[in-house]
Structure 1
């Protein structure tokens, strides 16, 4: 869930359940929102951002933002700039190609396997997140798009019962940058990729492994296309 973006920062934030059944702290919610902003390309590589500036942007206090950015330093998403703030790190085209390749090796066979094993009730439980992705694409809300997309894909992979696999894919997603999202929103092309999530769910519920493989292959290809769109 996105961090509140109100004009006045809340003094406390309720703990919310996640797909894994754990509770997410206020600090973790700030980390998630900042990570989503970086992945969506709203926080640009090479730019330096101060904690107070980001706090005002997200409607929270500076302390959890500063703590969250230090967490993102450990993930390699930002570097500290003494007396100034944090600089978003850049990702090369070679790295993006490698991330896509690894994701394809992991996600395609895993999701195809779910066509024969996943509980229909658990699959249907992901439909609200799939719809959120579509709604965010229509609204042009890039951060909401990335947050819902992450919940959907990691929630789907979690149905395979391998927590380490989910962690690896989550790390790969976190290291990615979708620089082209803004241009795709303006061109009206983001919606097609968003709707593939609903298409994938329907294929899984139909136990159609061939369709699942085709949709997943096409979807990951679109994702790499989004990464490359800034070129």
Structure 2
């Protein structure tokens, strides 16, 4: 059995490298690719049903983002994020996102905020349906689209990079236990506060949400030993061939 459960994500030749990179990021976050493990481009390419070249190119992109590191003659090792790293990433995100949410609440057009409600609903739906990949994609789309309303492209780019670096591990087990649903529902609460014009309330909600995400990461790490013994997945990921 291969590394990845979502091999059908790769459907066209257009921007194949970007599609592979996106699928690999999702696999890193969901825990299908494990921190500290080494994966070969040919092995992953077999899972995707494509040649090794776009996979190798995608892994090099991830290496530039700090998500993996090359291992000579073997492949790429998934980098580990320690508690100190995550605390610092979360602190930076809070310094950026909390006041920005207040600014957007005071300045954004109501229709622009309302346009994000279907995405917030999708986050909750995906969490309840145990669609982890859909959950992660909708969450990313919601947060970056919301921040984009401030009009600062570099801010959105910076937060996007921080989100990649502070990826969550162990979400599969938490998802199976419905522990992602409260975090998912916070997106609707945030949107309602912003639509009501409650900038301070929205800032507090955003700060709480980032803290919730941080606690989920810690809980996911606590579940890692059980997952590595085979709990929840029923399989052990392969490394290089």
Q: Deviations over 1:127-179 (max 9, x none)?
A: 22222211221222322222221111111111101111111111111101312
TM-score, length-scaled by structure 1: 0.85
Q: Which moved more, 1:84-93 or 1:121-130?
A: 121-130
Question: Contact 1:137 / 1:190 at 8 angstroms: preserved in 2?
Answer: yes
Provide the alpha-carbon RMSD of the alignment.
Answer: 2.0
Task: Name stretches of at least 5 consecutive residues in structure 1 with no aligned partner.
Answer: 14-24
Aligned residues: 216
Question: Do the aligned partners of 1:39 and 1:175 also contact (CA within 8 Å) in 2?
Answer: no
Structure 2 unpaired stretches of 5+ = 1-5, 223-241
Structure 1 CA distance for aligned equivalents of residues 197 and 51 of structure 2: 47
- 1:76 aligned residue: 66
Superposition TM-score, scaled by structure 2 size: 0.82
Are residues 205 and 61 of structure 1, via their aligned partners in 2, closer, same or farther at CA, if it must alter by over 3 Å? farther
- Greater Cα shift, 153-162 or 143-152: 143-152
- Indicate the residue corresponding to 1:166 in structure 2: 156
Matching residue of 1:150: 140
1:126 aligns with 2:126: no
Following the alignment from structure 1 to structure 2, what is the Cα–Cα distance between the partners of residues 84 and 143? 28
Q: What residue is the counterpart of 1:30 in the other structure?
A: 20
Q: Distance in 2 between matches of 1:165 and 1:40?
A: 26
Correspondence for 1:188 among 158, 178, 189: 178
* 1:64 has 2:65 as partner: no
The answer to whether 1:109 aligns with 2:99 is yes
